[in-house]
């Protein structure tokens, strides 16, 4: 049963959650005032022999962030999809988190952590969490979208077979969402590389914070104008990306083919070619690991959950367990007092900002909003046809898929100083460069979601379209666009959130001791961060979060509800 329209647009939870998050950010800023002076950082050496070690440090941070992201995505998306009550609270939180410019709060977060723990540990945690924020949101949205679009007949079949929650997750939910999770994992790694450049080295108020890694190496090489070191670092990054593609992502994509929803057998054009996947399937070591370790572990988990979970306690997505009203009232009173106190202090803090600065924030919001929607529209123009081509044509996928994975993973931040020099002499050059850079940070969310959407189109529907002799536009209008609509909306939500975050780098660029900036909310936040102007930083971030939350609530969420109701694969 689908949610009613009234419950889909319930607004009270959004604003309560919004206030809670803003009060939390305000508390973090206040804590940053007590941060100790920056300790002496480990210098970044541009010697070529250091590149392998720096690369390993960065890959390790990426692995830790990805493990945290996949666990968060599965548990959070599963909890949000289970019931209406969870959905009303957890989706607004996700909307706000993915739209919060975490990059602007990285220095504040580091200051807050260094006030309570050693600086080296604080820097590592901050870098991993920043990479986590660039990986987790799109995976969570994709996983949630998969759970809420499982065909009704499959859920009814799981009820008939009396599957408990663990077996339902193992046999239905995880297989159904696996293709989308794999493609969004590839995108998450690309997003992690994108923000690695900013996570490992930054300067705030003459306090230098550095972590050795490939991202800091690239930035230091660019700052020193050492193009030989920069080129070798980029080549190393590309080699890592290609190795991951060949030995991890392509085998996973080939294996995920078995989870496609098909009513007929046949060779689909969406199959991903992997030379390493057959090697893994025939390897005696892999077969031994699967039979001696993996299967006993899963069998033990099955027995454990079979005892713990009653087969009669089936998950019904629209039914919530009764909640103790006294507990809810107590929690409500506590949160109300926290919000009342925090909101009062928060607005008192914001009142220190000048009226003229508020006018600048208003103009900057409109300018950034225009850039976000321009970059999103331009990205949709090319990602839809290219995504469909890669997802439906084996030959095209063989050539284009590795290229887009490399292009998505190479951090565009490393080349933005060069882009600025190319565009700065053109009319409106800095604005054009800002839009281009925002596209580089957002278009991949759309492309990978569209490819995943094409891969999940059942082969029997393709055969039916062929039998009906649908040609060109009718084929797209009847099959392709309706099937891709949920994936386009999911990609657009995460892409727009990424565009708002990318505005901090796109609208305010420091290169060779020069700063290039344009009117925009991201530029205001970046400038306030560099100058440690905390009232302006918080006020501009407050406006960005409220603006993005309103757009998500009144635009994207309605389209998301339409995707679940009208374009579900039933």
What CATH number does the domain containing 99 carry?
1.10.3720.10
pLDDT at 10 over 50: no
What's the token pair of residue 392?
């439906």
Is 538 inside a domain boundary?
Answer: yes
pLDDT digits 0-9 by tens, 13-25: 566 666 777 777 6
Q: What is the pLDDT of residue 314?
A: 41
Position 102 confidence tier, pLDDT thresholds 50, 70, 90: low
Is 27 inside a domain boundary?
Answer: no
Domain encompassing residue 137: 48-259+273-321+352-566
Q: According to the per-residue pLDDT averaged within each range, which of 104-113, 249-258, 270-279 is highest? A: 249-258
Q: What is the pLDDT of residue 194?
A: 73
Q: What is the mean pLDDT of the segment spanning 198-209?
A: 65
Q: What is the pLDDT of residue 407?
A: 77
Element counts in the chain: helices (H) and strands (E): 26, 4
- 161 three-class SS: coil
Report which of residues 8 and 78 the model is more confident about. Answer: 78
Q: What is the pLDDT of residue 535?
A: 86
pLDDT at 360 over 60: yes
Q: What is the mean pLDDT of the segment spanning 517-539?
A: 83
Query: What pTM does this model have?
Result: 0.76
pLDDT at 338 over 70: yes
Distance of alpha carbon 499 from alpha carbon 99, whole angstroms = 9
pLDDT at 348 over 80: yes
Is 506 inside a domain boundary?
Answer: yes
pLDDT digits 0-9 by tens, 459-473: 777 778 778 877 777
Is 22 inside a domain boundary?
Answer: no
Is 248 inside a domain boundary?
Answer: yes
Q: 23-32, 312-321, 387-396, 456-465: which has the minimum mean pLDDT? A: 312-321
Q: What is the pLDDT of residue 35?
A: 52
pLDDT at 339 over 60: yes
Of all residues in the chain, the percent with pLDDT exceeding 70 is: 80
Is 1 inside a domain boundary?
Answer: no
Q: What is the pLDDT of residue 445?
A: 85
pLDDT digits 0-9 by tens, 18-66: 677 777 767 766 655 555 555 555 677 888 888 889 999 999 999 999 9
Query: How many domains does the chain fold into?
Result: 1
CA atoms within 13 A on the CB side of 469: 0
What's the token pair of residue 109?
């977060």
Is 211 inside a domain boundary?
Answer: yes
Task: List the Cα angle 410/530/202 in 5-degree steps.
Answer: 40
Q: What is the mean pLDDT of the segment spanning 397-412?
A: 75
pLDDT at 366 over 90: yes
DSSP string, 5-47: HHHHT--HHHHHHHHHHHHHHHHHHHHHTTPPPPPPPPP----
């Amino acid at each position: 049963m689908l949610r009613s329209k009234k419950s889909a647009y319930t607004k009270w939870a959004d604003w309560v959650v919004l206030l809670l998050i803003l009060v939390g950010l305000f508390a973090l800023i206040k804590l940053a005032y007590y941060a100790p002076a920056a300790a002496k950082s480990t210098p970044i050496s541009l010697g070529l022999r250091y590149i392998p070690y720096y690369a390993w440090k960065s890959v390790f941070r990426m692995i830790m962030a990805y493990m945290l992201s996949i666990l968060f995505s599965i548990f959070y998306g599963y909890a949000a999809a289970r019931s209406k009550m969870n959905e009303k609270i957890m989706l607004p939180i996700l909307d706000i988190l993915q739209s919060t410019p975490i990059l602007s709060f990285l220095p504040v977060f580091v200051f807050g952590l260094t006030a309570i723990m050693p600086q080296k540990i604080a820097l590592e945690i901050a870098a991993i969490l920043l990479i986590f924020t660039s990986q987790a949101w799109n995976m969570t949205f994709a996983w949630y979208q998969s759970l809420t679009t499982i065909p009704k007949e499959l859920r009814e079949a799981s009820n008939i077979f009396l599957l408990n929650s663990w077996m339902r997750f193992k046999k239905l939910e995880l297989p159904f969402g696996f293709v989308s999770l794999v493609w969004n994992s590839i995108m998450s790694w690309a997003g992690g590389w994108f923000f690695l450049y900013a996570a490992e080295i930054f300067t705030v108020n003459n306090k230098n914070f550095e972590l050795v890694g490939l991202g800091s190496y690239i930035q230091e090489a660019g700052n020193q104008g050492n193009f030989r070191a920069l080129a070798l670092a980029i080549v190393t990054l590309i080699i890592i990306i290609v190795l991951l593609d060949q030995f991890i992502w392509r085998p996973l994509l080939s294996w995920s083919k078995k989870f496609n929803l098909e009513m007929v057998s046949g060779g689909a054009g969406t199959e991903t070619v992997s030379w390493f996947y057959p090697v893994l399937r025939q390897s005696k070591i892999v077969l031994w690991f699967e039979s001696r370790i993996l299967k006993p572990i899963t069998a033990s988990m099955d027995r454990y959950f079979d005892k713990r979970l009653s087969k009669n306690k089936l998950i019904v997505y629209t039914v919530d367990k009764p909640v103790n009203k006294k507990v809810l009232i107590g929690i409500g009173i506590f949160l109300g007092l926290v919000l009342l106190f925090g909101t009062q202090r928060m607005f008192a803090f914001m009142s220190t900002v000048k009226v003229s600065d508020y006018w600048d924030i208003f103009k900057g919001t409109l300018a950034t909003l225009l850039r976000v929607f321009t970059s999103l529209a331009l990205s949709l123009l090319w990602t839809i046809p290219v995504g469909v081509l890669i997802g439906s044509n084996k030959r095209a996928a063989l050539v284009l898929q590795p290229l887009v994975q490399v292009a998505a993973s190479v951090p565009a931040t490393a080349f933005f100083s060069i882009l600025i020099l190319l565009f700065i002499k053109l009319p409106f050059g800095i604005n054009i460069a800002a839009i281009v850079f925002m596209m580089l940070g957002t278009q991949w969310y759309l492309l990978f979601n569209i490819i995943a959407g094409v891969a999940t189109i059942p082969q029997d529907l393709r055969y039916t379209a062929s039998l009906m002799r649908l040609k060109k536009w009718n084929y797209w209008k009847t099959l392709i666009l309706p099937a891709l609509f949920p994936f386009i909306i999911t990609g657009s939500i995460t892409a727009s959130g990424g565009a708002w975050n990318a505005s901090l780098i796109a609208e305010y660029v420091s290169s060779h001791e020069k700063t290039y900036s344009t009117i925009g909310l991201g530029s205001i936040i970046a400038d306030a961060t560099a100058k440690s102007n905390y009232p302006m930083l918080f006020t501009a971030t407050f406006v960005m979060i409220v603006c993005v939350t309103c757009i998500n609530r009144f635009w994207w969420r309605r389209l998301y509800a339409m995707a679940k109701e009208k374009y579900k694969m039933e």
